[in-house]
Amino acid sequence: MEKIMIIGNGGSGKSTFARKLGVVLAKEVYHLDALFWKPGWEMTASDEWKAILTEIMAKDSWIMDGNYGSTIEMRARAADTIIFLDYSTSRCLYGIFKRRVMYHKKSRPDMNGGCEEKLDWTFIKWVAGYKRKKTPGILAFLDEMKTSGKEIHHFTNPRDTEHFITRNNE
């Protein structure tokens, strides 16, 4: 496990898991939200975004957390390990509301300064529909990636991720 990609619904704990795994494996962690969003919630231009990711992917080892469907294939091809946090919708909705309360009027640790935590109906609906709309395609994509020799981990509850961290810390 040298190049690790972590994906999953909003509120599933991708960034927290990435930080913990980064400590255990002594690897640099890249939070895609912090790389994509500039202060004031300004998006990074597509060509600049791909250049940033290409530079990171060229490194010997890394952990990246985040979805960003437009670049998921290029990141997956560069990764040797893909971890999918596939938690229940209620768990993820709880996660985004908890995060909103915890970081009210401030930026969370995995985000750029100038991007105060926010929650809107568009994001709530995206999280609520993720399991139904996104998960089937992700599972099919992960099956494809298995055939290309990728190490795939599909966790359906936080207990599984904690066991994974514990196993890798021994």
pLDDT at 152 over 80: yes
- pTM, whole model, 2 decimals? 0.94
Query: What integer best gives the mean pLDDT of the chain?
Result: 94
Q: Span 34-51, mean pLDDT?
A: 94
| Residue 170 pLDDT greater than 80, yes or no | no
Report, as an integer, the average pLDDT of 70-78: 94
What is the pLDDT, as a whole number, of residue 113?
Answer: 83
Q: Considering only CA atoms, give the Rg of the chain.
A: 15
Question: How many residues belong to the chain?
Answer: 170
Statement: residue 39 has pLDDT above 80: yes
Helices (H), 4-152: 14-25, 32-36, 46-57, 72-78, 89-102, 121-133, 135-147
Check: CB of residue 63 under 8 Å from CB of residue 18.
yes
